[in-house]
Amino acid sequence: MNRLVSVRTEELTGPALDWAINAIEGDQQPGTGQLQLFALPDAEQLITKYGVWVDVGHRHTWLADATKDPFNRQHGETRTIAVFRAVVFAKRGAAMKVPAELIQQ
């Protein structure tokens, strides 16, 4: 994972979106004696931590915002995707560099 490419936050999906959240939140390491699986924070944790507003949209399935500005709402096919994108937008802006290998074609 050497080459980074800039991707618009609203276009982040799949492994690239997971990577972006992990870059913001840091590795979520399981405690001693727990099953050693990669664990992302769930949407509920991020909603609480960042005060994310999230609701069903009209043109888009879900909308979320962590900036307290309705012009910065991020859409998503699922509630989790919308929340993840809202957190990425609030913390890193309208675009983020992610490993090229993670971009889904």
Residue 46 lies in a domain: no
Gap between the Cα atoms of 104 and 73, Å rounded: 23
Is it the case that residue 36 has pLDDT exceeding 50? no
pLDDT of 83 higher than 70: yes
pLDDT at 31 over 90: no
Residue 13, domain extent: 4-25+51-102
The average pLDDT across 44-53 equals 97
Neighbours of 90 (CB within 10 A): 21
In a domain, residue 93? The reply is yes
**What is the pLDDT, as a whole number, of residue 60?**
83
> Around 29, how many Cα atoms within 13 Å sit in the side-chain half-sphere?
3
Candidate from 7-16, 25-34, 51-60, 91-100 with smallest mean pLDDT:
25-34
pLDDT surpasses 80 at 30:
no
Any domain includes 9: yes
Total domains in the chain come to: 1
Task: Classify residue 86: in a domain, yes or no.
Answer: yes
Beta strands, E only, 1-105: 4-8, 53-56, 62-65, 74-76, 95-99
Kindly state whether residue 67 falls inside one of the protein's structural domains: yes
Residue 39 lies in a domain: no
